[in-house]
Amino acid sequence: MKKLINDPFDVVDEMFEGFISANDHIIKPVGKRSIARLESPIAGKVGIVVGGGSGHLPAFAGYVGKGMADGAAFGNIFASPPSKPVVEATVAVNGGAGVMYTYGNYQGDCINFDKAQDQCREMGIPVQSVVLNDDVLSAPKDQASKRRGIGGLFLVWHVAGAKAEQMASLDEVVAATQKANNNTRTVGVGLSSCIVPANGQPTFSLADDEMEIGLGIHGEPGVKRVKARGIDSVIDEIMESILADLDYKGSDVALLVNGLGGSPAEELYVVYRRVKQICDANKINIRFKHVGEQVTALEMAGVSVSLMRLDTELHDLITNAVVDTCMYKKL
């Protein structure tokens, strides 16, 4: 294993130290594993707290700043943060209008964010949660509540942050975020595994002529392993799954082509090209688009494609938003 680290068990703490120092014009530490916007708490604004395991930057901490999240809690690599840093972030961002938690649908995150929510409510802080579940292939449509949250988190948080910046109420921010989640679908494909530093070995193995379709962002195996082939046919299969799960035909959409950490930008634009062709063929109008590494899995090679179906509210929120976070800007 060759990585730019010291002791594998110190990676998260040393990353946290460097991350805060590099972004001290945007964020401040509010605990050992928690951060908040520099100007927090903002009076009258709903605070948004995100979080999850480390290993996914820019998610989750990279989206703290104007226009997205107000605070974030860090866990170990691919491990949920305990409730304490979530509570610390909540207290730090509470400006009197309440706080919304929004995070991916993973058991550890659900348990620990729910625990933090209960603790903060006992302290008198109104807290509501929106759990994100955009991963089409992780569970059947009739069991969508079991689906994981993956690359579509980026699009949903775009909406959530924009709504909160309008000084909307907690109920209004939650409703917009839930609507965004309900209209977002994602499918990913992996070309390689990743190595959790403390383990020192790939999470799974793929032969040189194999790829994994439907994999998660923690190195979970995909729903099927196939022979490597030209990317157009892979994207055809991915888009077929997305379009079969939600009726996007004739709709306005937001599109994310998301690198998983180990694929060059050149390849992501090849993917975007094919996605655009499929959208055009189905009269799907791309109103917001982004290509880049937004929700990663360490050094995993691969890509995910996310579509969010837009109504007037979602369109205006995501296209007009001004975002200035640690690792993503939209001016």
How confident is the model over 61-72, as pLDDT tens digits?
999 999 999 999
Same domain assignment for residues 226 and 258: yes
Q: Is 290 a catalytic residue?
A: no
The single residue listed with the structure tokens 């910046």 is 165
Euclidean distance between CA atoms 95 and 169, whole angstroms = 12
Q: What is the residue type of 26? A: I
Q: Give residue 203's pLDDT.
A: 86
Peptide bond into 74 cis (omega under 30): no
Q: Give residue 216's pLDDT.
A: 84
Q: Give residue 187's pLDDT.
A: 98
Q: Give residue 220's pLDDT.
A: 76
Q: Give residue 195's pLDDT.
A: 93
Q: Is 56 a catalytic residue?
A: yes
Same domain assignment for residues 29 and 157: yes
Q: Which residues of the chain fall below pLDDT 70?
A: none
Of 25, 158, 218, 315, which one is the catalytic site residue?
Answer: 218
Same domain assignment for residues 273 and 144: no
Q: Give residue 219's pLDDT.
A: 73
Q: How far is CA 61 from the centre of its chain?
A: 10
Instruction: Please indicate, yes or no, if residue 315 is contained in any of the structural domains.
Output: no
Strand 34-37, strand 71-77: pairing: antiparallel
Same domain assignment for residues 144 and 200: no
The single residue listed with the structure tokens 């993956």 is 150
Q: Which of 73, 75, 74, 22 is nearest to 326 (CA)?
A: 22
Domain that holds residue 30: 8-183+320-330
Q: Give residue 19's pLDDT.
A: 98
Of 56, 158, 290, 315, which one is the catalytic site residue?
Answer: 56
68-81 as b/e: b if 16+ CB within 10 A: bbbbbbbbbbbbbb
Same domain assignment for residues 41 and 171: yes
Q: Give residue 156's pLDDT.
A: 98
